[in-house]
Every structure is written in C-alpha cells, then in structure tokens.
C-alpha cells in the first residue's frame, strides 16, 4: 500500500533568462520580462512528493522532519535569497528556467532520498506557472 507524502518549501531567488550568443532583441522576444538585464525575483514554491510503503512500526512513509532537514540543507541553503545566474554553479551555463530548476533540484535531492522511495517534484514559479519532474 503506497502513500504519497508531500512537504512544501518556499524560497526567493533572482534570475535572468537569456543566451549570451543572442542579441538583446532576440532575448527579449523569446524570454520577455525574464530577460531583464538587471535580473528580477520570484517567490518559488516547491512541493516534494515522496511515494513509498507505510512502515508498520511507525505508521510513517518517511519521517517529515528528516525530509525537511534534507530540503533545508540541499535546497534552501543553496538557492534561497540567491541570484541563480551569479551565485549558483548549477546555472553558470544553464538557463534558470522553471524546467531546468526543477530538474537540478531533483538530481540533488535524489542523491539524498533513499532509493526505496519514488521522488516527484512540482516547482511553482508563479501562481499560474508550475513545472513537474519527472513529467
């Protein structure tokens, strides 16, 4: 009997979407306001979903405190109040789109979540735009 356990986290970060090899005009045309040269911020929301069997001894799928500690160490300490383009090595050469951010976070968290669990992430960039990985 598998159950999903979901922990929500929120973080603030700045970014700019652009390609160095494109003109300012083309970057604006493709990335709109997110191409603003002086960066801008988003209030990101991340839903971390863990799917697994209920442990008959504890009644838990996963200890939410332990899950929260992992999210704090791996997501909050790395990305909260950062400029994703300038401060975060993961995005030195990778456009910090919602799509790329959710995959980067997945790959980091996957190394910390035991293999017996399925992991699914949903990243909200705005109230209207969200990204899920695995799709």
| Alpha-carbon span 69 to 72, nearest angstrom | 5
| Alpha-carbon span 11 to 109, nearest angstrom | 16
Residue of minimal CB distance from Ni ion? 34
What's the min distance (Å) between Cβ of 119 and Ni ion? 25
Decide if 84 contacts 92 (C-beta within 8 A): no
DSSP label at residue 103: H
Footprint on this chain of Ni ion (rule: CB under 5 A) = 34
* Residue of 15, 34, 42, 88 marked catalytic: 34
| 34 among known catalytic residues | yes
**Between 45 and 49, CB nearer to Ni ion:** 45
As given in the structure block, the two tokens for residue 131 are 């990204």
What's the min distance (Å) between Cβ of 128 and Ni ion? 13
For the annotated catalytic residues, the residue numbers are: 34, 81, 125
């Amino acid at each position: 009997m598998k159950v999903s356990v979901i922990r929500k986290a929120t973080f603030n970060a700045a970014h700019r979407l652009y390609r160095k090899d494109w003109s300012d005009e083309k970057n604006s045309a493709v990335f709109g306001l997110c191409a603003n040269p002086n960066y801008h911020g988003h209030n990101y929301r991340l839903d971390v979903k863990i799917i697994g069997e209920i442990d008959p001894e504890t009644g838990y799928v996963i200890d939410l405190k332990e899950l929260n500690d992992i999210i704090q160490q791996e997501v909050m300490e790395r990305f909260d109040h950062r400029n994703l383009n300038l401060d975060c090595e993961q995005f030195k050469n990778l456009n910090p789109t919602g799509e790329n951010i959710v995959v980067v976070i997945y790959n980091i968290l996957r190394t910390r979540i035991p293999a017996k669990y399925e992991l699914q992430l949903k990243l909200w960039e705005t109230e209207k735009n969200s990204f899920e990985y695995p799709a």
